[in-house]
Amino acid sequence: MIYVCRKEHFNAAHKLWNPTWSDERNFEVFGPCANVNWHGHNFELIVTVKGLPDPETGFVVDLKKLSTIIRRLVIDKVDHKNLNMDVDFMQGKLASCEILVMEFWKILEPAVKEITPQGGLYKLTLYETPRNFVEYFGEGI
């Protein structure tokens, strides 16, 4: 098996806030990430596709097609947006990296399968800052 990766970029605003908690509890748990007037990040999303190379193209997946799918289905919906307010699939959800990457998986997995007959989506890696990142393998959905 070969693992093929495509990295995309977006920037977005959010705040970490649990609406069932008091303001005090939110500030205590989330600190500056609960800033009422939001804060922003330069996110990096790495999509890893697993599969076997097609004997006629040598490709596990056409990276141009993969990039187009990621941009159309995910990046265009979150880039320069407020994740709490503007993004349909994040409505009513906590805007952490963990929740975000699980929602990305639900959207991308079927679309990646369509262009990767001999494989499929293997891993999503989401960098929120250069030092904070999460990895997701599609478990528990």
105/35 Cα distance (integer angstroms): 28
Report, in Å, the least distance between residue 139 CB and ligand LPXRUNBV: 17
H or E element: which one contains 39?
strand 39-51
47/5 Cα distance (integer angstroms): 5
Residue 83 or 121: which CB sits closer to ligand LPXRUNBV? 83
41/2 Cα distance (integer angstroms): 31
Residue 58 or 131: which CB sits closer to ligand LPXRUNBV? 131
Per the annotation, the verdict on 80 as an active-site residue is yes
Report, in Å, the least distance between residue 134 CB and ligand LPXRUNBV: 7
Per the annotation, the verdict on 33 as an active-site residue is yes
Report, in Å, the least distance between residue 99 CB and ligand LPXRUNBV: 8
Per the annotation, the verdict on 14 as an active-site residue is no
Residue 109 or 133: which CB sits closer to ligand LPXRUNBV? 133
Q: Which residues contact 32 (CB under 8 A, 6 or more apart)?
A: 39
Residue 131 or 139: which CB sits closer to ligand LPXRUNBV? 131
Report, in Å, the least distance between residue 78 CB and ligand LPXRUNBV: 14
Helix (H, G, I), strand (E, B) or coil at 34: helix
CA–CA distances in Å: residue 2 to residues 42, 90, 121, 136: 29, 32, 12, 18
Residues forming contacts to ligand LPXRUNBV in the complex (CB under 6 A) are: 16, 33, 96-98, 128-129, 131-132
Query: Catalytic: which of 80, 98, 114, 135?
Result: 80
135/127 Cα distance (integer angstroms): 9
- Tokens representing residue 48 in the block: 């890893």
Active site residues: 33, 80, 128
